[in-house]
């Protein structure tokens, strides 16, 4: 008897304009563990395009997001057992160009999606269908949602206890995730204070509703907080670490809540940490019945899809600003192509960005994609 061959998958393995997907692609790979991203990664130019499994999408990336934690990943800090080489990049936006049979129940070739999945710093990425969200079109603003916005949304919902009149301090408020913490706290009718590093960023923060932007280059943050908020702040959304953590801890009100979502000031060091006055932490917390809580998005994936759905609806309704920085004001210009990812990471650590840093991946010369 002749075997029956199911050709439905083969038909799926075409891009949405009818041309064959190329056999090879470019991607960034960590070839040496280091917090120096330039030293850690290599751009490989002739890698096989991966095949999606039954529940997967193959996404042609149009825009990919840069995160402060990219250098924690390249340093091997998230999983000490990881061995080089390994793919890098956490999120992207692009079009589905192929998909497995189960995934085709929810997605179609040609559909634009935003996703959070490892290996986004590549021309093509295999994405589990459950890790993707349909979007209206492949535009850079959507890259700000999968990691940065969901981190702010879930952490503030779970740990913030926000209500009308709550005083919320957001550090690095004009950055990729800070911008969402500011807006979501304002939606909850809180009073929001945001730290930033320039007058331009202060103006941006005002434009998204921040009640008291503090440019720490021109105003000492501790002085402003002591003078203008003598009873302290109720919630801190903290991503800087080091001296800013100490300052935020001192500024907590009675029963205040400090949410640690990162400590970017230390990521470039060999240990990944910047010193804090940890010895006095128990006494400071006890004195105010205060708390410090960490938040790592990977531990809240059960809440992820609902968060993405809500944020996408907010953006579609015009209730959420998704500020992106494509490097138009960078010294060497816009971040275009995988070769510019290292430059984008440097730009972030120089504190130059307003909003989420996004790298554009142009259409390949050899492909109609």
Task: Indicate yes or no: pTM above 0.75.
Answer: yes
Q: What percent of the chain has pLDDT over 70?
A: 93
Does the residue 38 lie in any domain? yes
**116 lies in which domain range?**
8-144+323-360
Residues 57 and 99 in one domain: yes
Give the model confidence (pLDDT) of 115-144 as tens digits.
Answer: 999 999 999 999 999 999 999 999 999 999
| DSSP assignment string, 81-141 | T--SSEE---EEEEEEEEE-TTGGGT--TT-EEEEE-S--SBSEEEEEGGGEEE-SS--GG
CATH number at residue 169: 3.40.50.720
Structure-model confidence comparison of residues 369 and 67, the more confident one = 67
Flag whether pLDDT at 243 surpasses 90.
yes
Residues 81 and 132 in one domain: yes
Flag whether pLDDT at 363 surpasses 90.
no
Residues 157 and 108 in one domain: no
Which residue in 28, 43, 93 sits closest to 63, CA to CA? 93
pLDDT computed for residue 365 by the predictor: 45
Name the 3-class secondary structure at 236: strand
Mean pLDDT to the nearest integer, 99-128: 93
pLDDT computed for residue 18 by the predictor: 46
Q: Which residues contact 290 (CB under 8 A, 6 or more apart)?
A: 249, 252, 253, 254, 255, 256, 257, 258, 284
Confidence of residue 7 (pLDDT cuts 50, 70, 90): very low
In angstroms, rounded to a whole number, what is the distance separating the alpha carbons of residues 326 and 338? 13
Residues 163 and 205 in one domain: yes
Mean pLDDT to the nearest integer, 220-249: 98
Q: Is 101 exposed, middle or buried (0-12, 13-18, 19+ CB in 10 A)?
A: middle
Give the model confidence (pLDDT) of 299-327 as tens digits.
Answer: 999 999 999 999 999 999 999 999 999 99
Does the residue 306 lie in any domain? no
pLDDT computed for residue 21 by the predictor: 81
Contact of 53 with 95, CB cutoff 8 Å:
no
pLDDT computed for residue 51 by the predictor: 87
Does the residue 3 lie in any domain? no
Residues 182 and 126 in one domain: no
In angstroms, rounded to a whole number, what is the distance separating the alpha carbons of residues 48 and 192? 48
Structure-model confidence comparison of residues 366 and 72, the more confident one = 72
Q: Which residues contact 30 (CB under 8 A, 6 or more apart)?
A: 40, 41, 73, 74, 84, 85, 86, 87, 88
Rg (CA), the chain: 22
Does the residue 312 lie in any domain? no
CATH number at residue 334: 3.90.180.10
Flag whether pLDDT at 55 surpasses 50.
yes
Mean pLDDT of the chain: 93
Does the residue 86 lie in any domain? yes
Residues 86 and 192 in one domain: no
What total of structural domains would you count in the chain?
2
Q: Is 222 exposed, middle or buried (0-12, 13-18, 19+ CB in 10 A)?
A: middle
| DSSP assignment string, 323-337 | -EE-STTSTT-S-BS
In angstroms, rounded to a whole number, what is the distance separating the alpha carbons of residues 252 and 235? 7
Confidence of residue 15 (pLDDT cuts 50, 70, 90): very low
> Which H or E run includes 256?
strand 252-260
Flag whether pLDDT at 88 surpasses 50.
yes
Does the residue 369 lie in any domain? no
What's the first-to-final CA gap in the chain, in angstroms? 41
Residues 25 and 43 in one domain: yes
Contact of 172 with 333, CB cutoff 8 Å:
no
pLDDT computed for residue 109 by the predictor: 87
pLDDT computed for residue 367 by the predictor: 46
Q: Which residues contact 294 (CB under 8 A, 6 or more apart)?
A: 259, 260, 261
Flag whether pLDDT at 38 surpasses 50.
yes
Confidence of residue 6 (pLDDT cuts 50, 70, 90): very low
Give the model confidence (pLDDT) of 180-211 as tens digits.
Answer: 999 999 999 999 999 999 999 999 999 999 99
Flag whether pLDDT at 112 surpasses 90.
yes
Mean pLDDT to the nearest integer, 167-176: 98
Confidence of residue 222 (pLDDT cuts 50, 70, 90): very high
Give the model confidence (pLDDT) of 323-353 as tens digits.
Answer: 999 999 999 999 999 999 999 999 999 999 9
């Amino acid at each position: 008897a002749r075997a029956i061959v199911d050709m439905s998958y083969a038909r799926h393995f075409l891009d949405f304009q009818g041309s064959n997907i190329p056999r090879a692609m470019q991607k960034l790979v960590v070839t040496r563990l280091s917090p120096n991203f330039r030293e850690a990664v290599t751009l490989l130019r002739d890698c096989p395009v991966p095949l999606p499994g039954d529940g997967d999408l193959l996404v042609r990336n149009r825009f990919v997001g840069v995160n402060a934690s990219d250098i924690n990943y390249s340093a091997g800090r998230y999983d000490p057992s990881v061995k080089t080489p390994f793919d890098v990049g956490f999120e992207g936006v692009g079009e589905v160009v192929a998909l497995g049979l189960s995934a085709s129940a929810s997605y179609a070739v040609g559909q634009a999606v935003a996703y959070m999945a490892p290996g986004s710093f590549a021309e093509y990425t295999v994405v589990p269908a459950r890790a993707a969200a349909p979007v209206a079109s492949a535009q850079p603003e959507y890259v700000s949602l999968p990691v940065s916005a969901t981190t702010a949304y879930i952490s503030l919902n779970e740990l913030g206890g926000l209500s009308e009149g709550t005083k919320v301090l957001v550090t690095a408020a004009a950055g990729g995730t800070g911008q969402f913490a500011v807006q979501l706290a304002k939606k909850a009718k809180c009073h929001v204070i945001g730290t930033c590093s320039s007058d331009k960023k202060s103006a941006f923060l005002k434009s998204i509703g921040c009640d008291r932007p503090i440019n720490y280059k021109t105003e000492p943050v501790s002085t402003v907080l002591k003078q203008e908020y003598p009873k302290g702040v109720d919630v801190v959304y903290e991503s800087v670490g080091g001296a800013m953590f100490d300052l935020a801890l001192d500024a907590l009100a009675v029963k205040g809540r400090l949410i640690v979502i990162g400590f970017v000031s230390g990521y470039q060091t060999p240990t990944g940490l910047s010193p804090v006055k940890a010895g006095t932490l128990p006494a400071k917390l006890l004195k105010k019945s205060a708390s410090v809580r960490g938040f790592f998005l990977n531990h809240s994936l059960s809440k992820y899809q609902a968060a993405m759905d809500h944020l996408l609806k907010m953006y579609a309704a015009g209730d959420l600003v998704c500020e992106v920085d494509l490097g138009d004001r960078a010294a060497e210009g816009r971040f275009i192509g995988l070769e510019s990812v290292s430059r984008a990471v440097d730009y972030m650590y120089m504190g130059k960005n307003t909003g989420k840093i996004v790298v554009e991946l142009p259409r390949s010369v050899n492909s109609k994609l």
